[in-house]
């Protein structure tokens, strides 16, 4: 009986493994068609001054409107797109549309220069753009130039692991972008293995403090102390901190008290459609009180 149960468990394990592989395979085939089908869209989450709620920028977050599954989260398909190489055209599509949105907002609100923050994967640096002679950095600078967006209105977000596994090539391109005025952020900061010395030699302007830290600052004295130290460290290194995933007033108040000035999270706003993000700016410009809003 025990042996049968073991076999049975194995079969179930095997079949769930099998369906996971099949599932990924299907997702990949669908993804390949999605760009041509115009099935991707961007949502924009406000990055605000957490003390006064004023908008400093928006993070562009890609969404996939799948024909049968509905809205698929990037958590489900970015890794598949990275494996298949589709992240190169998809990432290019994201950057181009994000830059276009930021350029539009500049036209609508000349006084307020909100920036756009774009997530970039390692693979994109090795992608072929217009030709093998053109680097990713050069391509990005051409895109923002074409849209008339000042380089300082673009923030490029990279994860720590990407930077850690770099043999110097990515760092060199980031330095090129930074020399032109584009700002660079480390995303999900604190989840990797960053050390002080490593931060000093990277071309970085902003640390995006991972949500997992924010989640525990109000309940754990130890985590509170860790975040407090990171905020102080960032000040010494002259890095800006953006706190991710602020959901409660308690979290916000603790961050303000620590001297963390910028953040994003459901407390302020969920990611918004382009139209709602434009409306968000319009209401801010006219000093109207905002209601809470969710992207469809
Ligand atoms: P991320 O870059 O760390 O983005 C923040 C994620 O946290 C977003 O999830 C956002 O919707 C979510 N979030 C923001 N505030 C809150 C909050 O208060 N509470 C909670 N529970 N969540 C919050 P999303 O949009 O599902 O994106 C997931 C990840 O997918 C992103 O994490 C990013 O790593 C990746 N991603 C999204 N768009 C792109 C893209 O265009 N290119 C690449 N390479 N990756 C992308
Ligand atoms: Mg991000
Ligand atoms: Mg993040
Ligand atoms: Mg995150």
ipTM, 2 dp: 0.97
30 Cα–ligand 3 center, Å: 26
Cα gap 118→222, rounded to integer Å:
32
Q: Which residues are CB-neighbours of 145 under 8 A, at least 6 positions away?
A: none
Is the model's pLDDT at 130 over the cut of 60? no
Which of 63, 90, 119 best tests ligand 1's pocket when mutated (most atoms within 8 Å of CB)? 119
Pocket residues for ligand 1 (CB within 6 Å)?
A: 45, 61-62, 73-75, 78, 91, 94, 119, 121, 187-188, 244-245, 247, 264-266, 271
32 Cβ partners below 8 Å, 6+ apart?
Answer: 84, 86
Could you say which DSSP state residue 220 is in?
-
The Cα 172–Cα 168 span in angstroms is 6
264 CA to centre of ligand 3 in angstroms: 10
Which CA distances in Å does 68 have to 21, 71, 87, 259?
A: 19, 9, 22, 46
For the chain, how are helix, strand and coil distributed in percent, rounded to 5?
Answer: 50, 20, 30
Q: For the chain, what percent of residues have pLDDT higher than 90? A: 65
Sign of the Cα pseudo-torsion (227, 232, 236, 240, in order): positive
* Residue range 218-235: mean pLDDT, rounded: 94
Q: What local confidence, expressed as pLDDT, does residue 296 receive? A: 45
pLDDT tens figures, 46-63: 999 999 999 999 999 999
* pLDDT number for residue 121: 93
Q: How large is the angle between the packed helices 249-258 and 221-236, nearest 10 degrees? A: 40
Ligand nearest to the CA of 215: 1
User: pLDDT tens digit string along 18-34?
Assistant: 778 888 888 888 888 89
Q: What are the tokens at 55?
A: 């908008």
First-to-final CA distance of the chain: 52
In the structure encoding, which two tokens stand for residue 78, read together?
């970015």
Q: Compute and round to an integer the Cα radius of gyration of the chain.
A: 21
Q: Which of 42, 57, 61 to mutate to test the pocket of ligand 1 (most atoms within 8 A of CB)?
A: 61
C-alpha separations of 87 from 115, 119, 254 in Å: 23, 11, 37
The ligand 1 atom at the shortest distance from the C-alpha of residue 266 is 18
Kindly state the tokens that stand for 116: 């756009």
The tens digit of pLDDT for each residue in 90-99 reads: 999 999 999 9
The DSSP H or E segment spanning 82 is helix 74-84
- Nearest atom in ligand 1 to 62's CA: 38
């Amino acid at each position: 009986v025990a042996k049968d149960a073991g076999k049975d468990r194995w079969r179930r394990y095997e079949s769930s493994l099998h369906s996971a592989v099949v599932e990924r395979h299907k997702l990949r085939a669908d993804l390949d068609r999605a760009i041509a089908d115009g099935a991707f869209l961007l949502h924009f989450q406000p990055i605000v001054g957490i003390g006064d709620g004023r908008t400093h920028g928006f993070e562009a977050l890609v969404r996939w409107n799948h024909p049968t599954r509905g809205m698929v989260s990037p958590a489900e398909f970015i890794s598949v797109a990275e494996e298949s190489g589709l992240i190169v055209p998809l990432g290019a599509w994201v950057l181009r549309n994000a830059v276009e949105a930021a350029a539009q907002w500049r036209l609508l609100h000349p006084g307020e220069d909100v920036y756009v923050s774009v997530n970039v994967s390692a693979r994109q640096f090795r992608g072929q753009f217009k030709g093998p002679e053109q680097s990713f950095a050069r391509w990005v600078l051409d895109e923002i130039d074409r849209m008339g967006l000042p380089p300082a209105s673009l923030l490029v977000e990279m994860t720590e692991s990407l930077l850690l596994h770099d043999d110097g090539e990515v760092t060199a391109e980031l330095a090129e972008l930074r020399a032109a005025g584009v700002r660079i952020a480390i995303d999900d900061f604190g989840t990797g293995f960053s050390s002080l010395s490593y931060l000093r030699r990277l071309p970085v302007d902003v640390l995006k403090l991972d949500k997992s830290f924010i989640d525990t600052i109000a309940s754990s004295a130890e985590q509170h102390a860790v975040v407090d130290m990171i905020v102080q460290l960032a000040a010494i290194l002259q890095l800006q901190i953006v706190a991710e995933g602020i959901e409660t007033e308690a979290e916000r108040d603790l961050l303000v008290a620590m001297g963390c000035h910028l953040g994003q999270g459901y407390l302020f706003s969920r990611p918004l459609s382009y139209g709602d993000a434009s409306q968000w700016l319009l209401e801010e410009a006219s000093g109207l009180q905002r209601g809470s809003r969710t992207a469809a």
